A and B are shown apart, each in its own frame.
Chain A
Amino acid sequence: MKQKKLNNYELVCIFTQDTTEQIVRSTVSEYTQKIKEVGGDVTKTEFCGMRTFAYPINKKKKGYYILLNLRLPTEFVKKFDIFLKNDPKVVRFLMLRVEELDPKPSELLQQRHNLDSAYKAQIRSGKIYQQQPEIA
């Protein structure tokens, strides 16, 4: 098979407040499966939890934030974009191409647990992150 060109992407996705964490997790694993089918890879998955919006979106005040570090084949990006747009559970998303994927926990996750020092220590020690990026 011909080797596909992969690029690094960072996806922040906001789910509606009406979903539960279980549904979010199952949809994310669905995405992961979908990506792996086309020859891409998910190097990091972060569930940043429910967060209050800075301004209301679709008359809702909260949303469930997730962050994915992706390696996608270039021709799949547009399809994935349309797929996310048509997902009613997704309020908003931002997919950006980045030079390098950051394997460390993002600020989005860290700030959420700023007050919870025990959780922070867990992040630092790497207990929460088993997934490591395969390609630097």
Chain B
Amino acid sequence: MSVAPSQLLNRQIPEELAVMLRRRGVEPSQAWLCVETDLNLAGQFERVFLLVFERRLIVAGMAWGDQSRLIRIDLPRDNITQVRTRGGVGGGFLEAVVSGIAVDFMTFSNGLADTFAKVARKLNDWCENKPVSVGIEDDYNPRKCPVCGMTLQFPGDVCRRCAKQGAVLWRVIKLMKPYSAKATLMMLFVLFGIALSLVPPKLTQYLIDKVLTPVLSDDGAARSDAIKWLIMLVAALLGVYVLGMVVTMIRGLLSSFVGTQISFDMRARVFDHITKLGISYHDRYSPGQLMTRISGDTAALRGFVDQLTSGFLAQLITVVAVGVIMFSLSWKLTLYTLAPAPLVIASAVFFYARVRPRYSRIWDAQSKLSGVLSTILSGIRVVKAFGQELHERNRFTGSSEHLQNSERNVEYAVWKFTPAMGLLFQLGSIIVWFVGGKDVLDSQLTLGELIAFLGYLGMFYAPLGTLTQLTTWLTSFLTAAQRTFEILDTRPDVDSSENAKSVEAQGAITFKNVTFGYNRHEPILRDVSFKIKPGEHIGIVGKSGCGKTTLVNLISRFYDTDRGQVLIDGEEIRNLNVDDLRRSIGVVLQEPFLFRGTISANITYGQHNATPEQIITSAKAANAHDFIARLPLGYDTYIGERGAGLSGGERQRISIARALLFDPKVLILDEATSNVDTESEKLIQDALVRITSGRTTIAIAHRLSTLKNCDRIFVMDRGSIIEHGSHEELMEQKGLYYRLVKIQTELSSEPSIDVLTAEDEEEKEKNAKKRKTKS
């Protein structure tokens, strides 16, 4: 037993507990492992310690009360046959098998799950009297940030607490960087357009003060001057309008270009990122939810550009520019104009806080509606087969109503807020009418100046009114942007490292003590080790849930192991380029997935430059050519969603042809024939015999008949390989494989592996006899 300091597994227990234990004859310093948990067996928060000595383990709690509760568990090592972790809801247990009985002896919350997984492994070695060590290396936990200790979403993830968080709005602005020249030009046109819009009220002032007022109050001498002024003013107004039209047109074109480009780029980035994210991410989100994010949320980013050019930014600048002019016309009237502003700002802040979550709920309702629709439509055959149209209609209506209510919730709030804001502004203009009119009467202001001021007042209040809706738009926009960045910020849990090596696999596969689980408490694979030689044919059998598919998922690196290594041709799989790796592996699944498109396009998926000759060759090898050739449009036959229009066997043969065209060194057949009829299975089996030749082949099979050609068969049970060998060797062992074959033979009218083997032998004998007769 090697013991070195470790913060996690060699903790110092509190002195008062040590004293109490010594009184009971237990010397804590002699424990080689001491670990603390945060819960007692009743599920209450309490500091509880596990102390493991050479020949016993004890569990002691801090809330010992009358001392009868000081030592909760005291187990001699010799009585324990196994220690394991078991998951509860929100936590887990350490469980020992003592004299054949499962005994929970320690509870922990999920934050300590990794620590107790380590403890269980060490205790198992201790039970088996194997060498055990505790040291500083036990403190390392790849799921924790080494700087702040925050739990990471997966090993190797960037710690959010330590990483810099960019403001959402700033990140959106940075998206415009590649188009900075066009964006700058666009903004110049925006400014120019605003400047032009300020001219007409000023011209109105001149019209009144220089043309109309002198003429109305004077004689003919003033009239000739007024005509000159009038012509100049009309010409200037015409010029402003024409120029304004040109500026608006160019600004619109630039805005459209930049906006659609940003939206396009974001769609591409989000789509790329979603496809790079690991299977575990896709396990969590439905296709419907992701569809909304790719199409809806990225489109919202386009709205940002529109807001810059004709929305809130343009209006903000207009408000400032108009404010300056108004101030130059009459500072007193301008102050009256601004009187309602503090109330407007306060209202907007309040509105922002109240409305933002409601916008999020609209998005959520849309996303849920998409999810419900996607589920119903993709399962429409099941819906019809069970006559559940009405039930599904009600489900859809429920989601639709939720969206309706969410939208109403926001819009009602908006329609209460906006008119109230309008009234506030109108109060300002009423004051201006009164004070301005009085100033004109008192000759402190010219009539032209007042009319111009009222013109500018319209220009000031109109955008200010819109600006009160800025918060509404901004919240909606920021919600969409935040969700988009949430996807982009999610790091793929399985990715090629910077120094990833290219690989052209030869097909040697090694598992070294691999443990993996989707849930930390309950490994699906436990300490699995094996070696497969290039070109070897391996069958995997076992009951449902024993880890067969999980095992092959690790070969394709859809997930990374929790412990141990997977090696391809002697190289650790994490050091290999993921794309190269997956190109070396062909997978034929139980449920073949065909895309909407032609049969030809489906076969060439992943090998788009394949020639017609190659397509036909692979289809022939997959026993698919004959049925394809019989179709009116042959390889150009368009098939529907998921291969609609073809039988299960036909779809499977197309998927085999696709895998074959890929020419992989490793072929994985995950129950490839379990969903097809016997005749199709025979055709597929014949094809598989041909295409697996010279390739490392791993076939998972429920029907054991699939395995008659395998070099070795792995028999799995609860995450471990418990038997391996050829069919004959396994039958001789009379273990689980033997039992499975017997069960299948008894239950199934279809040929078992025994029958098939016997038939095969008979056929061989017949052929041999024929050859003899001929010769």
- Asked if chains A and B come from one complex, the reply is no
